[in-house]
Structure formats: structure tokens, C-alpha cells
Chains A and B, each alone.
Chain A
Amino acid sequence: MLSIENLSVLIRRPGRQVAALSNVSFSVRPGEVVGLVGESGGGKSMVARAIVGLLPGGSHATGQVLFDGSDVLRMDDTALAAHRGRGVAICFQNPRGALSPTRTIGKQLVDRLATHQEMSGAQAREAARELFEAVGIRSPQRRLDAYAHELSGGMAQRVMISLATGCAPDLLIADEPTTGLDVTLTREILRQFRHAADTDGRGVLLISHDLASIAEVCDRVVVLYAGTVVESGPAEQVLREPAHPYTRALLRSVPDVGGRPVVATPGAMPLLTQAPENCPFVARCAHADGTCSSRRPATKPLAGGRGDWSLACFHPQTRPLDAGAPSTSPTTAEAGAEPAEADRKPAVLEIDDAHVVYRSRFGSGGHHALRGVTLRLAPGETLGVVGESGCGKSTLAKLIMGLVAPTSGTVTVAGQALVKQPGRPRPRGRALRRARTRAQLVFQDPIGSLSPRRPVGDSIAEPLRAAGLSPAERNARVAAVLDRMELDRSILQRYPHELSGGQAQRIGIARALVGEPNLIVFDEPTSALDVTVQAQILAVIADVAADADRASVFISHDLATVRGFADRVVVLYLGQIVEEGPVDVVFDNPRHPYTRALLGSAPRLGGTAGSDGEAVELVKDLEEADAATGCPLAARCPFVTDRCRAERQELQSYGESRAACWRVPELPALIGRQAVTP
């Protein structure tokens, strides 16, 4: 159906030129799901754009994009108009941005139906309702009149899928459909595409930077690096025994719930101004030799590979990716011994039954973001905090940092209260500013957390200024921390927008470290970063978190990243702690159904982890679950009883971990049954 042959795209702008794609060839057949993976800037979106004939201005395209035999690049306006939508429909990378903000989503869908399926008004509305239902939107009738901004990320992605399928295309393209979504949603969305291929016989092109997450649903994968196809082949094999060093690097960068350690690949993807003369990966490749840097490897079928497995490499690797990786990392090995020791030292962080309610500006009510969280953290300890998007993780971080005040309960950092709390004194003025520097936060958005119009050197030194250090001392401390982050001094004079994401996050960590705080909170520090950069930053964080006399809190919606270096982990759900315990205990032997659900939906590479059968499927989205009187999970839990709905269970100890669920003892048996009758 789709056959791309030797496609090259050169984007010419005065003063700069980007070779976005160089000699890309692959094809998609009806009923097939093809995954297109690679790092940011690899050219994935450019391929998608070429297929729908929407290349950016200044593009020079050679080669062919054959769709049902005709070349999209050379179609005239009418042919193109017929091709778009009906032939190929694309789901955009950022679904909320791709929905028109001023038109109801129902109307947007009806527009597509009317254009491509020649439906009349009422008919189209009915069809729209059905489509919404089909992609898993509940109460679709009501949602038809919603606007894009009223949708959550997952909902918007579903709407986007319905819009694309509403065009009844032969080929469906999804550009990073799951970025920004949390694990439970990711699975659900990806399944929609598999479904489209299986039931409607559409071809599907799934684009992602994350090999692991799309691996499950794809028939074949194409790996793109710096605008070139480095490897393509059957998904299962490519993932289990990738032959190209880049594919291997990509896979190793992804953390795994099973505990396989992340291996960071140094360096970054080159920005090509011309089609490469050599292997574009040469600079980062451990196997590179003279040939690699002088010639560009041709794409060849892999010797001994099954199906149409081919790659462009002079040194194909054959070993399986991670034979015999240790299941526990060294840091977690010590974890068991630590709590006893930690209890003796004064706690760095103490949170006692803290509630946070965001008041709405007008009127009464508000959003109850944290509901009675109690935590204690000793020096040297690393705490992981996991949970779905919106469960209150960032709120917890802000609470610790004194950026929000607890509505009730207390928060103490290094013995001091940072904000006004009922009945407690707090430092003021300079003392408060010093107290604040005892805890530091590393943000999710690395560039956004740096003041855009100040050189980064300024930002790093900020905590030192509050501490009243002299400029000379400041410079020395900043220099030291830069060395630790492996950054060059020259970076101090740069502005945030001149930094790459990875550099910016190193700066962010440097700023957190420079004042020697007692506590560092990492709020999803890698989720905005590229896969291989993520791995690099995680390595840095693991190093920092291992500092003996400092406590760390590591927040993530992704359990796998936490496993690498946390000692303890708490699972947050709707502002409450539902399970807590040493990281290996919680991950290997989860007690709470919610924890099981999270673990179950975490991506894992073909069969590495063996707990698939125990996965718990939650029945609804988070936003539809309202915490009433009983267990907050009651509305979504498949094992819910009347007691759960009426009454809330407190955290109970089960061995080394604690969980808040009435049905913990019965769970293993229940899960077995659920697997039989879904």
C-alpha cells in the first residue's frame, strides 16, 4: 500500500540547511502495524509529513512516496486533496494542539465524516457518537459538544484517533501518540491502533521515540537515526536481538521494571546539513572503526535474519541484549539494612498527615490534591514516589519545597517549617531564604526552570547568593559542581535557550547540588528528555542520590526509572499513599491492586519480565474516578466490594511493605480468576 523509496528531504533556509531525511525506504502493507522509532530529530515526523504531502516550506524532496502506486510528492492539488484523509490520515504528535480550540470536537469529527464519507448532518452525528464510543470515550453524546481544552491528554488522544479513523483512511499514521501519557493510558491507546489494523485492515504507521512501549503492538519496526534507516525488521526479533549498535543503545537506555540497569550512551545525535557520507552513529558507537567513519554502510538484509530484517551497519551485533543482567542493583542491596540506621539520625523531611487543597479563585470548593500524606525521610535515603498523572506527585514536591502551604498537617524540612503552618513558627527574611536552600528541587521542564533572560551561571549561583557567600567562594563552588556534572565552564555564559535538554537538566541538578542541601527532590526530571539523554541523566541522578548524607525524593510516573536507585518507594493515588515499602519488595511483591496495575502496564521488552499474567486491569480512567467516602480506587478497581466503597482502609503492614487495601490477602487468588474471565 505505502512504499517509500529512497526518500531524501533537504530543508533549505538561508543560513542553515538540514538534511532531515536521507535515502529512506520502507513500506507498510494493509493490516500491518509498522513502528517507526528513533530519537528526537531523527526525522520520524518528517516521514509522516512526506506521506501526507505536508513538507515544511523550503524542503527539497527527492525519491518517491508511493501510495497505491502514485507518488504523493508529485500529486497535483486535487489528487492530494483526495489522498489526504481518505488515503492517509494522521494523528498528530500533540493531540490537544492538533484539535481546533474553537470548534467542538463533535463538529470536528462530523466535518471529517461529511467530507470523506459523504454523510449528512444527523447521520454523521450518530456515526460520530459511535466512533467516540469505539475509541473508549465514555458518555460520548455529551463529549460531542466538548472543546479540546476540556479534555485530558488521554481523552484528546482518543479523539484524535477517532478523527483520523473518521476519515476512513487506508493508512493510519500516529505520530508519538503516547508521549506525555502515563503508563496505564499508553497501553490502552496503543491497543487502539492494533485494533484498527486487525479489524479494519488498515495499515498503521506508529511513530515513537520509545521502542519498548510500542514493541508489543507492532508487526515490524523501522529504526531511524539522523534521517537514515539504520535497521528494520520484525518487531519481536529486532527488539530481542537488535543487530545495529544504535538500536541496542536505544533499548539499553530504557529502564525496565524488571530491574535491568540502564546503560547510558554518551553523546548526542548529529545535526546533519547534508546526507551523511559515513555512518551517522560512528561518533557514539563502541564498535566503530575506520570503515565506519569513511563510508556509509548500505542497507542490507541481515545474514541469518528471518523475514525482511535488514540493517545498515558494518558490524552487526548478534548477542542478545542483556544476557544475565543482575536483577538487583548494588544500591538497592544495601536498602534492607538502612532503615534501622536511618531511624537514629534526625529526619531530613517529616510530613505529617498533610492535606493540600487548591482553592478555586472564586466561589467555594477546590481541588483536594493531597489527602493525608505522612512521610519521613532520613539522610542518605532515597525515596521513590510513583503514580499516575494528576495523582498529586508534583503537589507533594511543592509541599516539600514550601511552594504550597499545607491546608492541614505539617511539613518540616531540616527541622524548619518553610511556609506558614497552623500553630508553628517559621523563619522570616534571610533566615527563611537560607532555610529554603536546605531543600532543592529538580524540575520536569529543564529549560523552563531556568530564567530565560539570565545566563545559566547566574541561575546556578542563586542558592549561594541566598546563603550570602562572596563572589569568589561562589565561583569556586560553581566550578566544582560543574565538574561533577561534566560540563564545560563556558556554559555559564550561555542562555537557557542555547542549551540542549540534557545540558539544561545537568544545570538544573548542578543548581540543586551547589548549596549542599540536605534534601533534593527530583520531579520527573527525565520525562521531557530524549531517550538516550534520559539514560545519561538517570546515571547522573543515581550518582547524586547515592551521596551519603543527603536524602533524595525521586518522583516519576514510570516505575521502572524509580527502581534503579530508590531505597524505598511510595505509590500515590489520588493524593493518598496506597502502598509503601522497600523498592524491591514493592516491585517484586506488590500488595495493592493499583500497584499491580501500574506494574502491569509498564512496558517491558519481549518476555524479560515474567509477571504479565498477574497484571490488574483498571476499568476506568483516573479522571472518572471520584474519591468519595470509601477507597479512592473503588470506582476503578475490578475487585471492589461494598466495604471498599463505604470505608477506607488505613496503611497496613504486610511484611516489609505497607498497603491500604481491604482485599490484600485475597488478591493473588482473585487475580488468577480475572485472567480467565476478563
Chain B
Amino acid sequence: MAELRTAVTGDSTVPVVVPGGDRDSRFARRLIIAGATILSVVALVAVFAPLLSPWGETEIDPANTLVAPGGNHLLGTDGNGMDIWSRMLYAARLDLGIALAAVALAVVVGTLLGLIAGYFGGWLDDVLMRVVDIFQSFPTFILALAVAALLGNGTINLIITIAAVNAPAYARLVRAEVRSLRELPFVDAAITSGASPVGVLWRHLLPNSLTPVRVIAPLNCGWAMLTLAGLSFLGLGVSIPEAEWGAMISLGAADVVGGRWWTSVPPGLALFVCVLGFSLLGEGLQDRANAKRR
């Protein structure tokens, strides 16, 4: 509700205009569009990386290590003589892939747990939630290292690690949602219409409990990418020499001090933009959801 703005005129036929209205949702839409655009560009880059990059993902130009941008190498090369520009493009594949896959896995596992815990309640709920507590309170990087050490440090394991770290949040979210949905009349309506428990869960509670998940998931994707970068920095990321932004940044981070910004700034920007894309999308979705609630 906005305040009336003064229009000091005696004429009662001149409308008094109250500012405001829907700018909220307009901005939310812009955020969503901006985020979606960024992400589509990144996705396109990921798909067409081989066409866009003059060098291979791990191709070495031995005569030209750490050369500055220009000439044969659009963004210069790193300490191994690999082309930054090409690696930066290829990295979109791994980064997007891992983030999306990890979040998807987390959503599936977390939602399932949350549904079961929230719907059946009782001891099952208690046990599941305690398990979720355990996982949630377990330090991320120890979990990551454990998974990496157990399964070797491959892409799949990174996905598992990041999913394991995120799944508890979804479990909680969905559980809370299911618990409040369970009290709503439509659930009673389904039961009295003879729906089986699985039917109620699957056809009624699941679709309705996913609303907050949809809002959180994009934000979470961005966060997953940052986690991936952090793991790379700790040497727990993707295996050398695959191209991944976080790994590129952490490899090149030390170069910045010596003035060789190109090894880490471009992948840093790429990561930043991509995470920002997810954040914008998430923020927009959240805005829209909030506006709907009001």
C-alpha cells in the first residue's frame, strides 16, 4: 500500500495518482530474463565449445607457456601452455553439468526423503530427520574429501559430494511443506475420495510441495558451482587437466600477483557471470513467489 501523493489542486476531476503497483513483478521478470539469458548463453557455449575454441581442451602449446593474450592465443596460455580461451569455453560443460546434475540429484533424493518423513511422520520422520541432521552438520569438505578418497576424484564423485551436501536442505524444505500441506483440506478430500497413501503422496503432495524447491534450486546451482571451485582450490576438484573454471582460477590465482592476470581472471569472470545468472534467476523467482504470497 502506497501513500497518497499530494496533488495540491482544487479540481476534483484531476485524478490523484498513487504511485507503485506492480514494479515489483516487473523487476522480478527482468531478473528472470537476465538470468535465463546468461544461462542460455553459457549453455550454448557449452554445447558448441568445440566449434568456438581454436585449441583443444587439454592441448598443449609447449613453446608458448604463460604467454599474454593476443596472437595465437586469444586470452593467452597458462603455465602448461594450454589455451585459456578454449579451456574457458570447454569448462562451461563440466561446470554446468556438475552443478545441474548435483542439484538435480539433491532435489530428487531430498524431496523423496522429505516427502516420506513429512507424510508418514512418527518414528520414521524422527529417524529420517536425524539422518538429515547428521549429514547437514557434517563438514562439507571432509565429506568431499571422503567421497573423493573413497571413489577417486572423478566428475561423478563431485556430483555425489555436492548433492550429499545439498540434499538435506531439500529434505527439510519439502518435509515442512508436506507437513503444512497435509493439514489442508485437499488432502482430506483425496483420502475420502479413496486415494491410496502412495496416490496422495505422488499425485497430490509431491506436485504441490515442489513450489519452494523450484525457487531454491537455481540459487543452489550457483552455490554448487562456487563449492566446486572451492573444492578445486583445496585440490579436491575435477582431475587434472580437465577444464573447470574453479580449477583454472585456483591454478592461476597465484599468477595474478606476478601480473599475469589472464590465467585466472577470465575463468573467474566466466564463473562469476554464470553464478550471477543462477542468482538472478533465483532471486527473480523468489521475488515473484513473494509477490504472489502478498
A and B, direct touch (CB closer than 8 Å) = yes
Where the two chains meet, the residues of A that have a C-beta atom closer than 8 Å to any C-beta of B are 5-6, 10-14, 49, 53-64, 71-77, 80, 398, 401-403, 429, 433-434, 436-437, 439-441, 443-445, 448-454, 458-459, 462-463, 465-467, 508, 511, 515
User: In the assembled complex, which residues on chain A have CB atoms less than 8 Å from the CB atom of B258?
Assistant: none
* Contact in complex: A449, B185 (CB < 8 Å): yes
Known: A452-B186, A466-B196, A515-B194. 7 other contacts (CB 8 A): A55-B2, A55-B4, A439-B192, A445-B185, A450-B189, A452-B208, A454-B203
B20 at the interface (CB under 8 A from A): yes
Given A57-B19, A449-B186, A466:B12 Cβ within 8 A: no
Q: Which residues does chain B contribute within 8 Å of A14, judged by CB atoms? A: 22, 26
Min distance, Cβ A231 to any Cβ of chain B, angstroms: 24
Pairwise interchain contact B192-A403, C-beta atoms closer than 8 A: yes
| Chain B residues engaging chain A, CB cutoff 8 angstroms | 1-4, 6-9, 12-22, 26, 184-186, 188-196, 199, 203-204, 207-208
A58-B188 in contact given A64-B12, A75-B6, A437-B194 (Cβ < 8 Å): no
Contact A463 B18 (CB under 8 A): no
Q: Is the CB of B203 within 8 A of A466?
A: no
In the bound complex, CA of A346 to CA of B39 (Å)? 67
List residues of chain A with CB within 8 A of the CB of B208: 451-453
Please measure, in the bound complex, the distance between the C-alpha atom of A57 and the C-alpha atom of B294, giving whole angstroms: 14
Q: How far is the CB of B138 from chain A (nearest CB, A)?
A: 29
> Would A434 and B189 count as touching, CB distance under 8 A?
no
Which residue of chain A is the closest to B23 with respect to CB atoms? A57
B126 CB → nearest A CB, Å: 12
CB distance from A496 to the nearest CB of B (A): 8
A451 to B199, CA, bound (A): 12
Q: 28 A-B Cβ contacts within 8 A?
A: A14-B22, A53-B4, A55-B18, A56-B2, A56-B18, A57-B19, A57-B20, A57-B21, A59-B18, A74-B8, A76-B6, A77-B3, A436-B193, A437-B193, A441-B189, A445-B185, A449-B185, A451-B203, A451-B207, A452-B208, A454-B207, A458-B203, A459-B186, A462-B194, A462-B195, A465-B195, A466-B194, A467-B194
| Contact call B6/A451, Cβ cutoff below 8 A | no
B194 near A56: Cβ-Cβ < 8 Å: no
Chain A neighbourhood of B26, CB < 8 A: 14
Inter-chain contact A5/B203, CB cutoff 8 Å: no
B188 and A398 form a contact (CB under 8 A): yes
Distance of A420 Cα from B16 Cα, bound (Å): 64
Q: Are B8 and A76 interface neighbours, CB within 8 A? A: yes
The chain B residue with its CB closest to the CB of A459 is B189
CB closest residue in chain B, given A5: B12
CB distance from B27 to the nearest CB of A (A): 13
- Whether the Cβ atoms of A74 and B19 lie closer than 8 Å is no
Least Cβ distance of B200 to chain A in Å? 9
Q: Which 9 A-B pairs have the closest CB atoms?
A: A466-B194, A57-B20, A58-B21, A462-B193, A433-B194, A453-B207, A449-B185, A60-B15, A57-B21
Q: Is the CB of B4 within 8 A of A6?
A: no
Helix, strand, loop or mixed for chain B's interface? loop
Contacting pair A6 B19 (CB below 8 A): no
Determine the residue in chain A with the shortest Cβ distance to B12. Answer: A64
Q: Which residues of A contact B9 (CB under 8 A)?
A: 74
Give complex CA distance A603, B199 in Å: 45
| A62 to B15 alpha-carbon distance, docked (Å) | 4
Would B22 and A54 count as touching, CB distance under 8 A? no
Q: Give Cα A466–Cα B14 distance, bound, in whole angstroms.
A: 62
In whole Å, how far is A662's beta carbon from the nearest beta carbon of chain B? Answer: 38
In the complex, the chain A residue whose C-beta lies closest to that of B184 is A448
The reply to whether A436 and B1 contact each other, CB–CB distance below 8 Å, is no
- CB of B192 within 8 A of CB of A62, answer no
Chain B neighbourhood of A401, CB < 8 A: 188, 192
- Please tell me if the beta carbons of A54 and B21 are within 8 angstroms of each other in the complex: no
A403-B13 Cα distance, complex, nearest whole Å: 59
Least Cβ–Cβ distance between B261 and chain A, in angstroms: 44
Minimum distance in angstroms from B43 CB to a CB of chain A: 27
- List, in ascending order, chain A residues with CB within 8 A of B12's CB: 5-6, 62-64, 71
Least CB distance from B196 to A in Å reads 6
Q: Judge whether B204 and A454 touch: CB under 8 Å.
A: yes
Contacts of A402 in B (CB 8 A): 192
Question: Which A residues are CB-close (under 8 A) to B191?
Answer: 403, 436
> A537 to B59, alpha carbons, bound, how many Å?
75
Q: What is the bound-complex CA distance between A453 and B214, given in angstroms? A: 14
Given contacts A401-B188, A401-B192, A454-B204, contact A74 B22 (CB under 8 A): no
Query: Closest approach, in angstroms, between the C-beta of B282 and any C-beta of chain A?
Result: 21
Q: Are A61 and B203 in contact (CB under 8 A)?
A: no
* Contact (A433, B188) CB under 8 Å given A56-B18, A61-B16: no
Complex CA distance for A439 and B193, rounded to whole angstroms: 9
In the assembly, what is the distance between CA of A10 and CA of B18, in Å?
11
